[in-house]
Structure 1
Amino acid sequence: MKIEVKELTKRYGEKEALSNLSFTLNEPKIYGLLGRNGAGKTTFMEILAGQITATKGEVLIDGVRPFDNQRLIESICLIKEGNNFKKDLKIKHVLKIYSYFYPTWDQELADKLIDEYGLDRNAKIKTLSKGMESALGISVGLASKAPITIFDEPYIGLDAPSRKKFYEILLEEFQNEKRTIIFSTHLIDEVSLLFEEVLIIREGKLVLQEETDSLRQSIISVSGPVDAVKTYIENKETLEIKQLAGMMNAYVYGEKEEALEYGLDVEGVPIQELMIHLTERKRGA
């Protein structure tokens, strides 16, 4: 399903959560939606899921607005950091409700995940720990098999082995049946290898959208003697420069082979580091 975001703006009183945000997601991929707290990521995901309306602009899914459109809403599953389920419901009731709502629901996968995370189907949501509630959210999101599945910090409280299992199952399910998965997280180093395309938002505006493979090849970390680094980065766009005791390190848009010809040490820039530099308040887009 094609997602078009056109000059999307959302205001809460005097605060502007999104500001003329525009981009297109053309095909089923695992997208990383990154940014600092308050960047507007959750607001965008709630508009996409049809839960709230925009102040200005629009989101279109295959040319149609999702808000108040039952057919489209059944194609979108948003799992947020918390409060996804009514507290007085039992886990088995949550699974039943979601199975009725999503035409693509996979009960076999839901049962597998509930067992994998050791959840008691008769337990009420209000009795679950934060980690157990996150495990239920992950299970519902994956089992929905919604053509657009959105995870917004979905695993608060889960330990590292449980998060790893989630990544493995998510990737396996995606490979078996492609869908658009939008993933927002602060644990970027853990999941960056899953991302096929990355979008970075800063203060409600898009500062980067690029395929991950291209991103890793186009932005490099170079280090070496100050004069050599300065010569190499001259007339190149740099993101960060650090100098210490006659040595210099720079994050730069460049090519590995060329940097090596200057006798520099060359490494890739982790996506988490890139996000940090692109979203620092002192920097422009």
Structure 2
Amino acid sequence: MSDGAGGGENKVREARNMGSDTGTGGNGTLDGAVVAVAGAGGPAGRAALLRLAEAGATVVGSDHDPERLAEAVDAARYAHGGATVTGETVDLLDLDATRAWAGRIEKEHGRVDGLVHLVGGWRGSQTFTRTDLDDWDLLEQLLVRTVQHTSLAFHEGLQRSDRGRYVLISAAGATKPTAGNAAYSAAKAAAEAWTLALADFFRKAGGEQGPTSAAAILVVKALVHDAMRAERPNAKFAGFTDVRDLAEAVAGVWEKPAAEVNGTRLWLTEKP
């Protein structure tokens, strides 16, 4: 997945319709929820902050770039007056720092109900044989190690919540890799496997009554936002998911019972 809406509209509508059940088990509203967003400074992060704040959540963003994080937080606050949206620069490659961030959120707000993982990055090559293994070294850090750290830091808090959700944004390439994207696709596949292992933790912790928390994967081909369209006005962006539609799907993960979304892949583009 690159931070980068053409196709996939039906898939996006499916994501929006996840929330039709608003019964007790469905947690159909984010009012009062506390949700952390990792990678909040990018276009997808900005859209997520806006949508989660609109849904009534207290939102805590992190990013490695303090300037763009501050801009994203300010935009969400401005768009939704009265919403509690804060940001903190966190090194997600440092497990202790990530755990400390999770602890501060729970200490300050009394709970943590979600972690949305939007940390991205892309490297590719013209052919498989020209793959640069330095790309793997970078992508393993960005796409795998950060997932390991956020999941290990937040899983206990999410399990204590009655509507805890861990949401990973992944890419179709993890399912059907291409020759020039070996490193990227392998990293995404590893991140998915790690997230599914977290889902198994939630399943086992729920026992016979089923999980109360969930780990879910949202799959896109790539992302598109307004600035990209402005730069390439004639581009089709076929199969791409608009960051606002992604944010809608993220919010929708809370609108179904944990047992229905735990360990699932929700496709926002056509399956390869």
Q: TM-score range by the shorter chain?
A: 0.3 to 0.5
Which has the larger Rg? 1
Q: TM-score, normalised by structure 1?
A: 0.33
Higher strand share: 1
Q: TM-score, normalised by structure 2?
A: 0.34
Using CA pairs under 8 Å that are at least 6 residues apart, name the structure with larger relative contact order, 1 or 2.
2
